[in-house]
A and B are shown apart, each in its own frame.
Chain A
Amino acid sequence: EVQLLESGGGLVQPGGSLRLSCAASGFSFSRYAMTWVRQAPGKGLEWVSSISDSGDSTYHADSVKGRFTISRDNSKNTVFLAMDTLRAEDTAVYYCAKIKSGSFSFGFDYWGQGTLVTVSS
């Protein structure tokens, strides 16, 4: 059974930093690209960052480029999201998701339950 378990969320002050983790199990982690998606309270889904299966390629939304960094450790089946210079508008539930195949043509087939990040003084 595929499982994705996010951790690391919490309350942080504006300008602060946070590192999210997503522990994966139930599939061959190193064969799949992974991604982070967020959802602000009462709002829609917003793609944040994606990383290729090997970790060689990373992609970030314009709203987080230069502030957020996605990475992965295939030896530990874990994907990370390092978030710096946090703003109030980064407040959201952050979901980790598995991309259905090695290419970006098939969507996100498994999602974690999400971790809440609140940026407030």
Chain B
Amino acid sequence: SYVLTQPPSVSVAPGQTARITCGGNNIRSKSVHWYQQKPGQAPVLVVYADSDRPSGIPERFSGSNSGNTATLTISRVEAGDEADYYCQVWDGTSDHWVFGGGTKLTVL
């Protein structure tokens, strides 16, 4: 089955840029989605189809996908961005949705 690998944690100072990676075999051939989840809340879609943003999501959130790595980039990080972030793909070979293990973003 398809596996997505994320770093367990990423730390960044306010105002800096956070980059959260999501590794998968030839992930560039798949459409990657990213979710933000704050404690006690349901996840929120922040990037879909590699690099598109749903309405209401700040432009500070962007995504890219190349080779074996997809990346969620958060520019000008704010304290309110502190959360768990998950990447996700649809694996058409197994007809399964797959989530990465999640990355905890800490704003220093």
Contacts and interface: CB of A to CB of B under 8 A. Distances in A.
Given A44-B99, A44-B102, A46-B99, A108 B49 contact: no
A108 B43 CA distance: 9
Q: What interface size band does chain B fall in?
A: 20 to 34
B1 interface: yes
Nearest to A50: B97
Contact of A59 (B84, B86, B96, B99): B96
Summarize B's interface: helix, strand, loop or mixed.
strand
A107 B42 contact: no
A61 B49 contact: no
B96 to A, nearest CB: 6
A35 B44 CA distance: 15
Contact of B45 (A46, A104, A109, A113): A109
Contacts of B92: 104
Given A105-B49, A106-B48, A109-B54, A44 B42 contact: no
Contacts of B90: 104-105
B48 A100 contact: yes
Contacts of B42: 95, 111-114
B86 A45 contact: yes
A27 interface: no
Contacts of A114: 42
Interface of B: 1, 31, 33, 35, 37, 42-45, 48-49, 54, 84, 86, 88, 90, 92, 95-102
Given A47-B96, A108-B33, A111-B42, 18 more contacts: A44-B84, A44-B102, A45-B102, A59-B96, A59-B97, A62-B1, A95-B43, A100-B45, A100-B48, A104-B90, A104-B92, A104-B97, A105-B49, A106-B33, A107-B45, A108-B43, A108-B45, A112-B42
